[in-house]
Amino acid sequence: MRAVDIIIKKRDKKELTSQEIEFFIQGFTNGDIPDYQASSFAMAIFLNGMTHLETTALTLAMAKSGQTLDLSGIVKIAVDKHSSGGVGDKTSISVMPIVAACGLPVGKMSGHGLGFSGGTLDKLESIPGFRADLSTDEFKMQLKEKGIVLTGQSLDLAPADGKLYALRDVTGTVPSMPLIASSIISKKIAAGAQAIVLDVKVGLGAFMQTLDEARELADLMVSIGNLAGRKITALLSDMNQPLGCAVGNALETVEAIELLRGRAPKDYYEHCMHVAAHVLVLGERAKDLSEGRAMAEKSIADGDALEKLRVLVQAQSGDAEYVDDTSKFARAKYVEVVPAPRSGFISQVHARLVGEAAVALGAGRAKKDDAIDYAVGFLIHKKVGDKVEAGEPLFEIHANDEAKLADARAAVLLAYAFSSEFVPPLPLFYE
């Protein structure tokens, strides 16, 4: 088998066998197949597409390109929840304690953020001491003993995916459905997931800008997940505006904690209940969504979910007092409430612009090694569909630098759009 013949076959729109795909991915991973062949292959895939069977073969080949995590024997069903990334998306920090409190153990390897879309680990690291660098043994032990764990990758999961992604980024082959879908699912499979709830974001602050694209990606991931023998549910959720109010690491973690006390913005609460119900059903703890939702709500009312978060934070060396007293979180030097410049209905809070403004404040990384300022960010008081009077609080800036504060004010004001006519609120989920 020769790499060039596999490239030519895809170039000529023929379907590749799983042997051919595995040969290519293995060779690429171990360096036998050079980058210039992989990039030409990626462009051929980009332009000619892949069948679901080919995409499944690609996913499995990447999943087994490195180490894999085996959670059988530790949990009955290894469930995972994956969001395609957005602004203000702190869902995992609320949902994992909820489902764990409902008796479904959950262990998740998550990532740090890059660009305008935040990372769950960065948010949790706003709690002093919190360790996101557990070893694989620590991961398994904690999952077994505490029923909850959320850490960074200790294993070299799906290295082919990492290598291919780096190449795609500089060769114009990122936005390809089969490449995106296989990238996401391969990492989940390598991390041992048997059942996965996918939260595919759609809108201005998401990778998928249109519902059609998001639906196509969701359907593809469900299809290849099933072909690979995994249970998968895909949700399509709105990411035109930030989720909830908080954007920024400490602010978001506080909002996630407040949810576990029953005090959260309504959109974020509804989002979490829906995702939690799906995870509980897929993990076979609830027989249907309404039972799952009732269990999730009860775990909050009883304080069990909050207790699970305490357990998580403590188990990973974080200061659990932060869970009970959120005033302990780092607070920015400057907090400014920005009033509405006019009256009317909010018709847009452009998620991507808000996310980029948060990165500019220091909440995220433009480059991989940038330091993060946990305290900075925004509280978005008014969202799409809200009626405001001129002068009412529109949003709040938390900044540690006056010049950056001024920039952020201008940027977020630009993210807003107003209408004199009634504007309906955005849906939380599509379909």
CA distance 342 to 345: 9
Point out which span in 28-36, 116-124, 220-228, 335-343 binds a second copy (CB under 8 A).
28-36
Backbone angles phi, psi at 148, to 5 degrees: -155, 135
- Identify which of 155, 154, 159, 156 has the alpha carbon closest to the alpha carbon of residue 26: 159
Q: Compute CA 298 distance to the chain's CA centroid, rounded to the nearest angstrom.
A: 25
Closer to a second copy by CB, 28 or 395: give it. Answer: 28
Contact yes or no for 16/54 (Cβ under 8 A): yes
Q: Give the nearest distance from C-beta 29 to a second copy in angstroms.
A: 16
161 in catalytic set: yes
Closer to a second copy by CB, 163 or 271: give it. Answer: 163
Q: Give the nearest distance from C-beta 176 to a second copy in angstroms.
A: 10
Q: Give the nearest distance from C-beta 117 to a second copy in angstroms.
A: 20
Q: Is 46 in the site for a second copy (CB under 8 A)?
A: yes
CA distance 365 to 421: 38
Point out which span in 38-46, 125-133, 222-230, 269-277 binds a second copy (CB under 8 A).
38-46
Q: Give the nearest distance from C-beta 193 to a second copy in angstroms.
A: 31
Out of 80, 161, 238, 267, which one is annotated catalytic?
161
325 in catalytic set: no
Q: Is 40 in the site for a second copy (CB under 8 A)?
A: yes
Residues of this chain, 3-22, that bind a second copy according to CB under 8 A: 3-4, 7-8, 11
Query: Binding marks (x or -) toward a second copy, 322..341, rule CB under 8 A?
Result: --------------------
168 in catalytic set: yes
Q: Is 281 in the site for a second copy (CB under 8 A)?
A: no
Closer to a second copy by CB, 35 or 392: give it. Answer: 35
Task: Give the C-alpha distances (Å, rounded to integers) separating 309 from 127, 145, 344, 388.
Answer: 12, 14, 40, 36
Out of 10, 81, 82, 271, which one is annotated catalytic?
82
82 in catalytic set: yes
Q: Give the nearest distance from C-beta 2 to a second copy in angstroms.
A: 9
Figure out which of the listed residues 16, 21, 25, 44 binds a second copy, where binding follows CB under 8 A: 44
Torsion of CA 29, 32, 37, 38, to 10 degrees: 0
Contact yes or no for 422/194 (Cβ under 8 A): no
Query: Which residue type, as a one-letter code, is found at position 302?
Result: D
| CA diameter of the chain | 69
* Token pair 């602004």: residue: 87
Query: Binding marks (x or -) toward a second copy, 154..193, rule CB under 8 A?
Result: -------------x-xxxxx--------------------
Q: Is 219 in the site for a second copy (CB under 8 A)?
A: no
Closer to a second copy by CB, 37 or 110: give it. Answer: 37
Closer to a second copy by CB, 167 or 320: give it. Answer: 167
Q: Taking the CB of residue 422, how many other CB atoms lie within 10 A of it?
A: 10
Query: DSSP letter at 304?
Result: H
Q: Taking the CB of residue 114, how many other CB atoms lie within 10 A of it?
A: 17
Strand-pair category, 334-339 with 393-399:
antiparallel
Point out which span in 39-47, 117-125, 393-401, 402-410 binds a second copy (CB under 8 A).
39-47
Contact yes or no for 112/354 (Cβ under 8 A): no
Q: Is 29 in the site for a second copy (CB under 8 A)?
A: no
- Identify which of 426, 255, 402 has the alpha carbon closest to the alpha carbon of residue 350: 426
Q: Which residues contact 369 (CB under 8 A, 6 or more apart)?
A: none
H helices present in 147-210, as ranges: 159-171, 177-190
Active-site residues: which are they?
A: 82, 161, 168, 183, 187
Which residues are near a second copy by CB under 8 A? 3-4, 7-8, 11, 34-40, 42-44, 46-48, 167, 169-173
